[in-house]
Structure 1
Amino acid sequence: MWDPGKYLAFADHRSRPFFDLVARVGASEPRRVVDLGCGPGNLTESLVARWPDAVVDAVDSSPEMVAAARERGLAAEVADVRGWTPPPDTDVVVSNAVLQWVPGHETLLTRWVGQLPAGAWLAFQVPGNFAAPSHAEIRALVATETWRDRLEPVVLREEDAVLDPQGYAALLADLGCEVDAWETIYLQRLTGADPVLEWIAGTALRPVRAALDDQAWREFRDQLAPRLRAHYPTRADGTTWFPFRRVFAVARVP
């Protein structure tokens, strides 16, 4: 289950890549704008503000997130991106930190390019840090004797969950799109106790949390925390630096 409160706890860090992504979208008067993976809707509101004359649709697979988005007055619906089809008047599609959860999402991108009208914009951003200790230590702990059997069915993101910028650029260019692709490492300055653990609790650890009862979840967190501290120590000023790589692509449909 998505927790909107947990997700919004790091709203500033999560919003900066979104704005960096959308800044490269050159649409002036789109008819329809779709936010795929809208979360609690706080960032979708910025799309409404930028394109006030457009119909802005918010889509998320989490009923909790959609409920939070609707509380903001947004037209939000529960849907799985794997089955989503763009309406014919869709001129902008934005997907922020969603496609990493969809194995083989290259197929989705190919289908969407074929379904979007000429001149439409397809913009997405995915985390590119699945080889980082924050994720490697989750996989390592899940593989231990203590947790292996209980968490064997859990699907965790592997290092190849996303492509690099060149991979996305090649895919989209081969479909005839004009492409702008890049990557950025954000050196995030976190505060509080075990801030990296708190960060991933709202994202990468979701499948683990869903598979465990409350007591087992506390035990798992207690075992993971020192592993993460070893890689992300607290500095003398009480902050923790958390490097976070993200991969971006903005495509103009031919």
Structure 2
Amino acid sequence: MRDWNAGQYLKFEDERTRPAIDLLARVPLTDPKRCIDLGCGPGNSTELLARRYPNAEIIGLDSSDAMLEKARQRLPHLAFEKGDISAWAPSAPFDLIFANAALQWVPEHAALLPRLVAALNPGGCLAVQVPDNFNEPSHVLMRDVAARGPWAQRLGGAVTAREKIGSFGDYYARLKGAGCSVGLWRTTYVHCLDDADAIVEWVKGTGLRPFLDPLDEAEQATFLALYRSEIAHAYPTQFDGKVLLPFPRLFLVARRS
């Protein structure tokens, strides 16, 4: 995929940051020495870590130059590194590995999670939140529009760009097997947005990227027009003109023995 558009992502910064706040609130650590924010994006989640743990060494890691530029502007006193989570191999362990809305882009969770746990100090925590909206209309309709247009063959890989999110039992087994105590929960956020166009703008910054990136400008406009029409039917206007976007997310906090 092309590099991320940090400005597009930040159009809904408050809504995107709410799950990170909820995730961090469940982390039991009081004084971690080393923390890393995997897939730190523009630094909104990293800022939360810095506020809660002002005495910790905090690092942000992301594969996007555009996101890292925004993060460094936002938090010039912190260290940010470019890197791929799937290949991340730290030279020293961490007390907290935080990954908010990032691991859905990383394949093979069955192998990934034990590897992340192995990068923790004893007593350290792995805290993860991933969107669990693959079967929500917002994402089902992406795949439907992709499958029935002239771009169908080119967009075949877009469906598998995100890792399939497993069940509670899947994650419990992987993390218990790695020697952790495990907390798991699922929250559906209901975002009140201006209209169907706002839903399209939201997912343009994330889930739509694998579908739009292979298309030229004219094809993107056609795809978005078809998708927007479907979204307007799937998310009806409320009495006040707004639309409601339910957004389920899966959370886990695992503490290494």
Q: TM-score range by the shorter chain?
A: over 0.9
Residue by residue over 1:47-75, the C-alpha shift from the partner in whole angstroms, topping out at 9 and shown as x without a partner, is 11111111100011111001111112131
For 1:96-150, what per-residue CA distance to the aligned partner results, in whole angstroms no more than 9, with x for missing partners?
1111112212211111212322111100000111011111111111111422133
Kindly state the Cα deviation for residue 167 of structure 1 after the two structures are TM-superposed: 2.1
2:239 counterpart letter in structure 1: A
Work out which of the residue numbers 62, 76, 79 in structure 2 matches 1:75. Answer: 79
Aligned to 1:55: 57
Partner of 1:124: 128
Q: Which residue of 2 aligns with 1:29?
A: 31
Instruction: Look up the match of 1:97.
Output: 101
Matched residue SS, 2:189: strand
Structure 2: gaps (5+ residues): none
Q: What is the match of residue 177 of structure 1? A: 180
- For the residue of structure 1 that corresponds to 2:151, the secondary structure is helix
1:211 to 211, 214, 237: 214
Equivalent residue number for residue 3 of structure 1: 5
Mean CA deviation greater in 84-93 or 3-12: 84-93
Measure how far apart 1:157 and its partner are: 5.0
The 5 Å alignment of 1:40-51 reads 40-51=42-53
Please state if 1:115 is matched with 2:110: no
| Selected match of 2:154 from 139, 150, 156 | 150
**Equivalent residues in 2 for 1:156-235 (5 A)?**
156=160, 161-235=164-238
Please report how far the alpha carbon of residue 237 of structure 1 lies from its aligned counterpart in structure 2 after TM superposition.
Answer: 0.6
Q: Distance in 2 between matches of 1:127 and 1:145?
A: 26
Distance in 2, Cα, partners of 1:86 & 1:104: 19
Q: CA deviation at 1:4?
A: 1.2
Aligned residue type for 1:6: Q
Which SS does the other structure have where 2:238 is aligned? Answer: coil
Q: Which sections of structure 1, spanning at least 5 residues, go unmatched? A: none
* DSSP 3-state at the match of 1:117: strand
Is contact 2:196-2:228 (8 Å) kept? no
Partner amino acid, structure 1, of 2:124: A
Scaled by the length of structure 1, the TM-score of the pair is: 0.94
Q: Residue 88 of structure 2 aligns with which residue? A: 84
Once the two structures are TM-superposed, the CA of residue 8 in structure 1 deviates from its matched residue by 1.1
